[in-house]
Amino acid sequence: MELKRKYREIRTENDTQTKKNGWFRRHFSLTGLYYHLSTYGESISKPVAIGALTVFLSTLFWVIQSNPSLEPHFDPNLAETVGNSTFVGVREFGNPTQWLKGLERSLAGFIPLLSLGGETEVGIIDFIIKIFGGGLTFVLLAIALRRKFERKYTR
């Protein structure tokens, strides 16, 4: 995998050449991202850190909303309507109830099996958190654990 990340084969009609990949291709290709996110499935701590960071950042996102159970709305000129929550910034950072609501919404978005409360409106941001945060973390963690168990129990 490391050789695939660093080098690529260029095939011509008569010959095959090996060329070193540039910095951008080494770090932002699928193989490069797989290396940085989980060290090719060898690291358990990187997916756990990605999951924790996703939950923390999404909690911060929900804390800066006036009502974390409603769908976010970023236009400060419009008043809060029945289905939308307005952006309030850091005004609610000292409110522990707001943090608990934000954490609940984040965890419900991150772990697909947890259900949201009855008044919570699910939107596109919840699906983004589920797909990129929860899904990516779950897959990377599952691959890393599988490799650890294979090494431990198959020898």
Calculate mean pLDDT across residues 17-21: 92
Residue 155 pLDDT class (50, 70, 90 cuts): low
**43-57, 94-108, 116-130, range with greatest mean pLDDT:** 43-57
Residue of higher predicted confidence among 90 and 29: 29
Q: What is the spatial distance between Cα 110 and Cα 138, in angstroms, rounded to a whole number?
A: 10
Percent of the chain at pLDDT above 90?
A: 10
What single-letter amino acid sits at 20? Answer: K
**pLDDT at site 22:** 92
- What residues does each domain of the chain span? 1-40, 41-153
Encode pLDDT of 87-102 as tens digits. 667 777 888 888 888 8
Calculate mean pLDDT across residues 81-88: 62
Residue 127 pLDDT class (50, 70, 90 cuts): confident
